[in-house]
Structure 1
Amino acid sequence: MRFTKMQGCGNDYVYVNCFEESVSSPEQLARSVSDRHFGIGSDGLVLICPSEVADCKMRMFNPDGSESEMCGNAIRCVAKYVYDRDIIHKQKIAVDTLAGIKLIAVNTDENDIARTLTVDMGAPITTAAEIPVIAVSSPVKDLRLEAFGREFTATCVSMGNPHAVIFIDEDVSSFDVEGFGRVFEQDERFPRKANIEFVNVLSPTHLKMRVWERGTGETLACGTGTCATAAAACLNGISPYEPVMVDLLGGQLTIEWKKTDGHIYMTGPAEFTFDGEYYNG
């Protein structure tokens, strides 16, 4: 099976061009290729497929084999892949996902190579039942999460997948993301589990975030989590409705929640790492 390794802000996936390749069991394949010792090594598997309703379709699988609705870093890589390899050479590309059709603007250099991509991530979901999270009222800005004798307050947002954003005062660089993230991900109030973001506010337009992703663990970046973080900052009056820079372990993304259409726009890089062939069995 031919594959391509790509990364966006260090969030790395194995990409398979299903315009040419066939994958019969993506759940098992995701578990195999994601292993960093016995496989290729990645944060998961992404299939780039034909679509009857958009330019192409993205299916994204976590290292545990579960399928996720959406991945902001992966969708930028998908758009770069189909643009640079002339599968869909358009300045605006529509990608079908389990979270709906997303539109991506391709920002090219002088050689017509996609360098950064701007994704219309749609409107953030703040209604508890739709996130989903079990809570009394919406928006959910005061969900109490407890572990190891400590209590935190989370703001819950969905960007097609559920997130719980926690603003903390202590330096997130040394915070126990794995310990608290592993517990909070599986809190009984998250029917589909949740991605957990831990955030420092450096200024109203500059945030610093680390993320624990459900089914994966801590990653260097999470596109939907970055969008959820910016939305949570706006909901809590921390950030204005203008571009906000978010520092991640793997790089930086720029997020803007536009009042004109209520959508969140994410701009960031996508890069090829290498191509290869995978022998499964």
Structure 2
Amino acid sequence: MEMILIKVHGSMNTFYMFETAEREDFAQIAVRLSELDPEIDGILVILPSSVAHAKMRVFNNDGSEASMCGNGLRCVARYVCERDGVQEAVVETMKASLRVKKEETLNEGIETYAVEISPVSFSLSSLPMKLANHTEWIAKPLPFVSEEIPFSAVAVPNPHLIGIVPPELQKDTSHQQKWAQYFNGTNDYFSDGVNVSYVTPMDDGIFVRTYERGVGFTNACGTAMTASALISCMAGLVPYGDVAVYNPGGMVKCAVAVEGDDIRLQLTGNATYLSTAKFDWQGAGTDSRILSSESLEEQRRYNEFIEEVSTVSKQFV
């Protein structure tokens, strides 16, 4: 079966995206495309929805399915809004139907979209995470990892373990890699694995580096950046409201609003189209291949944006 793919990225979190009404072996497609193109973190599948403008499913490059992807959702938001000729839409995800909308550009020529990130839970059972008799874990060290790093566990709805660290642990990623690999292997704490982010405050925001479940170190993880903004606000590192979040893939804005138990999160950033491709999918275990690919011009404008923001975050990259 010949498929039309769009190669996209949000903050250099890169995917092949396609629309279909069929039930396919999406996990196997993700694995095969990742073999053919090691640059991608997975695939975004756009499906019909009975409750929203469209439904999004996300598969990592190892074939596992993620419940949400904030960077991917921005790309799906662009596709759906342009397809339907609207400025705002609702996209169904595994755990919730989320509002998305076109925004003013982050920089000239960069398509920019804002997406709702929801639901939010601090209950360890929602990650899930097992830690003695605790039901939450917020801003406290995990002594077996480090006595110095305050960690917080939160689901948005993807599971995240977020540590606030000094600049040295951003420059040398070995500590983060060691524990992220442990928590995503056989361990007593996270039965389904977890996204592990290290966060460092900056003069005008925060820097976030994420080891993503099912992927490894990634240029950016949308739900991780949003969860990190929330935890940073709670810790008093940055004020509530709009938070600039820098990452190895660029910069996004996360809006954090808290009223009592009501937490509202929004992620705003680029939705960039890199190329279009024709893919011949013949099923798992076959020689399915990319037949052709045509590059687009949008990445040049994003690279210019990266050059500007990298002057701020280069101390960590």
| 2:20 aligned to which of 2, 11, 18 | 18
Shift of residue 217, structure 1, vs aligned partner:
0.5
Give the whole-Å Cα distance in 1 for the aligned partners of 2:181 and 2:226: 21
Give the whole-Å Cα distance in 2 for the aligned partners of 1:56 and 1:145: 44
Task: Go from structure 1 to structure 2 and tell me whether the alpha carbon gap of 1:108 and 1:206 turns closer, same or farther (over 3 Å shift).
Answer: closer
Give the whole-Å Cα distance in 1 for the aligned partners of 2:165 and 2:49: 42
Shift of residue 179, structure 1, vs aligned partner:
3.1
Do residues 165 (structure 1) and 166 (structure 2) align? no
Give the whole-Å Cα distance in 2 for the aligned partners of 1:47 and 1:83: 15
Shift of residue 75, structure 1, vs aligned partner:
0.3
Shift of residue 81, structure 1, vs aligned partner:
1.4
Do residues 53 (structure 1) and 51 (structure 2) align? yes
Alignment correspondent of 1:253 = 252
Alignment correspondent of 1:142 = 140
Give the whole-Å Cα distance in 1 for the aligned partners of 2:77 and 2:90: 9
List aligned pairs for 1:1-281, cutoff 5 A: 1-19=3-21, 22=22, 24-35=24-35, 38-39=36-37, 41-84=39-82, 86=83, 88-107=84-103, 115-135=111-131, 136-142=134-140, 144=142, 146=144, 152-171=149-168, 172-176=170-174, 177-186=176-185, 187-203=187-203, 206-259=205-258, 262-280=263-281, 281=287
Q: Quick check: which has more Rg, 1 or 2? A: 2
Task: Go from structure 1 to structure 2 and tell me whether the alpha carbon gap of 1:108 and 1:230 turns closer, same or farther (over 3 Å shift).
Answer: closer
Identity %, equivalent residues: 27
| Greater percentage in helix | 2
Shift of residue 220, structure 1, vs aligned partner:
0.3
1:126 partner SS: coil
Give the whole-Å Cα distance in 2 for the aligned partners of 1:98 and 1:41: 25
Shift of residue 9, structure 1, vs aligned partner:
0.7
- Give CA deviations for 1:107-149 in whole Å, capped at 9, x if unaligned: 267xxx98211111135211222232223142533251645x8
Give the whole-Å Cα distance in 2 for the aligned partners of 1:253 and 1:145: 32
Q: Which moved more, 1:115-124 or 1:4-13?
A: 115-124
Count of matched residue pairs: 270
- Give CA deviations for 1:230-276 in whole Å, capped at 9, x if unaligned: 11112323222111111010110111111355211111111000001
Shift of residue 189, structure 1, vs aligned partner:
1.3
Task: Go from structure 1 to structure 2 and tell me whether the alpha carbon gap of 1:266 and 1:145 turns closer, same or farther (over 3 Å shift).
Answer: farther
What letter corresponds to residue 254 of structure 1 in structure 2? K
- Give CA deviations for 1:198-244 in whole Å, capped at 9, x if unaligned: 111114x5101110001111110000000110111123232221111
2:89 partner SS: strand
Give the whole-Å Cα distance in 2 for the aligned partners of 1:210 and 1:133: 21
Question: Structure 1 residue runs of 4+, over 6 Å off?
Answer: none
- Give CA deviations for 1:137-196 in whole Å, capped at 9, x if unaligned: 42533251645x887442111111100001111331332243332123344212321000
Give the whole-Å Cα distance in 1 for the aligned partners of 2:9 and 2:29: 19
> Which runs of 5 or more residues in structure 1 are unaligned?
none
**TM-score computed with the length of structure 1 as normaliser:** 0.88
**TM-score computed with the length of structure 2 as normaliser:** 0.79
What letter corresponds to residue 10 of structure 2 in structure 1? G
* Aligned residues of 1:127 and 1:140 also touching (Cα < 8 A): no
Alignment correspondent of 2:314 = none
Q: Which moved more, 1:192-201 or 1:255-264?
A: 255-264
Give the whole-Å Cα distance in 2 for the aligned partners of 1:278 and 1:259: 44
Task: Go from structure 1 to structure 2 and tell me whether the alpha carbon gap of 1:33 and 1:151 turns closer, same or farther (over 3 Å shift).
Answer: farther
Give the whole-Å Cα distance in 1 for the aligned partners of 2:266 and 2:244: 12
